[in-house]
Amino acid sequence: MSLLDLVGWIGSAILVWSLLQSRILRLRLINLVGCVILIAFNLLAGVWPMVGLNVVLAVINVVYLQKMLRSRHSPATYSVVPTEPTAPYVQHLLSVHGTDVERFAPAFRDAVVDATEAYLIVRGDETVGYVLLHDAGDGVAQIDLDYVTERYRDFTPGEFVFRRSDLLRDRGYTSVRTRAGSASTAPYYEKIGFTATGDAYELNLTRTSA
User: How is the chain split into domains, by residue range?
Assistant: 3-71, 79-207
**The predicted structure's pLDDT at residue 39:** 96
Distance CA 29, CA 41 (A): 19
**The predicted structure's pLDDT at residue 182:** 64
Measured CA distances, 6 to 27, 37, 157 (Å): 22, 11, 40
How many Cβ atoms from other residues are within 10 Å of residue 158's Cβ? 25
**The predicted structure's pLDDT at residue 114:** 80
**The predicted structure's pLDDT at residue 101:** 85
Measured CA distances, 125 to 51, 74, 76, 88 (Å): 37, 16, 13, 17
**The predicted structure's pLDDT at residue 111:** 59
**The predicted structure's pLDDT at residue 73:** 77
Q: Which of 199, 160, 157, 206 is nearest to 177 (CA)?
A: 199
**The predicted structure's pLDDT at residue 33:** 97
Phi-psi region of 97 (alpha: psi -120 to 50; beta: other; left: phi over 0): alpha
Phi-psi region of 180 (alpha: psi -120 to 50; beta: other; left: phi over 0): beta
**The predicted structure's pLDDT at residue 179:** 83
**The predicted structure's pLDDT at residue 143:** 92
Q: Which of 189, 163, 81, 85 is nearest to 127 (CA)?
A: 81
Tell me the average confidence (pLDDT) per consecutive run of 10 residues in the chain, 210 residues long. Answer: 88 94 93 96 93 96 92 83 94 90 70 84 92 93 91 86 83 89 71 86 76
**The predicted structure's pLDDT at residue 21:** 93
Q: Could you say which of 3.40.50.1820, 3.40.630.40, 3.40.630.30, 2.60.34.10 is the CATH number of the domain covering 79-207? A: 3.40.630.30
